[in-house]
């Protein structure tokens, strides 16, 4: 783990969602794949424009439920929101050649748990908190 690079631990299986999809769509995908975040893409799917995470969904739920008397109506309204309207646009990115220590530092300082991984300008993977923790505490034995 100490000598590992981001490219060694990242997942190449990038789960994406288009910006026009709804919060309900995002929740379904996050739960189905048991992951923490999705890369939000433009409508053509060619460029990443943001990230939506389970933490973002919880923040939306908290805000709506704490302000509304009609809880079911608030949940229904949230579920129909478009991803592009709520996704984090200031995305923390990292190069696949970066050291794992850099990822740990970014996750802690920026309070993010899902980071898109690039090789130059090309999106090549995603690294999440579970990838890092798993590698740190359950390293592959040879």
pLDDT tens string 78-121: 999 999 998 877 889 999 999 999 999 999 999 888 999 999 98
Kind plus residue range of the DSSP H or E element containing 48: strand 48-53
**Mean pLDDT confidence for 48-55:** 90
In this structure, is residue 1 part of a structural domain? no
Over residues 53-60, the mean pLDDT reads 92
- Tell me the pLDDT band of 19, cut-offs 50, 70 and 90: very high
- What CATH number is attached to the domain comprising 88? 3.10.580.10
Domain carrying residue 91: 6-137
Q: In this structure, is residue 142 part of a structural domain?
A: no
For residue 99, what are its two tokens? Answer: 């050291």
pLDDT band at 142 (very low <50, low <70, confident <90, very high): very low
Q: What is the DSSP string of 54-103?
A: HHHHHHHHHHHHHH-S-HHHHHHHHHTSBHHHHSB-S---EETTSBHHHH
Is pLDDT above 70 for 2?
Answer: no
Q: Out of 1-5, 64-68, 80-84, 118-122, which region has the weakest mean confidence (pLDDT)?
A: 1-5
Domain for residue 62, yes or no? yes
Total domains in the fold of the chain: 1
């Amino acid at each position: 783990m100490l000598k590992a690079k981001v490219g060694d631990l990242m997942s190449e299986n990038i789960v994406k969602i288009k910006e026009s999809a709804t919060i309900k769509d995002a929740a379904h995908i996050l739960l189905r794949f048991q992951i923490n975040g999705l890369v939000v893409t433009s409508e053509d799917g060619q460029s990443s424009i943001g990230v939506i995470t389970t933490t973002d969904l919880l923040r939306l739920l908290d805000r709506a439920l704490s302000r509304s008397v009609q809880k079911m109506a608030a949940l229904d309204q949230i579920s129909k929101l478009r991803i592009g309207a709520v996704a984090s646009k200031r995305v923390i990115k990292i190069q696949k050649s970066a050291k794992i220590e850099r990822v740990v530092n970014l996750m802690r300082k920026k309070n993010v748990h899902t980071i898109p991984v690039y090789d130059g300008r090309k999106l090549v993977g995603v690294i999440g908190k579970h990838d890092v923790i798993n590698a740190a505490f359950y390293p592959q034995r040879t």
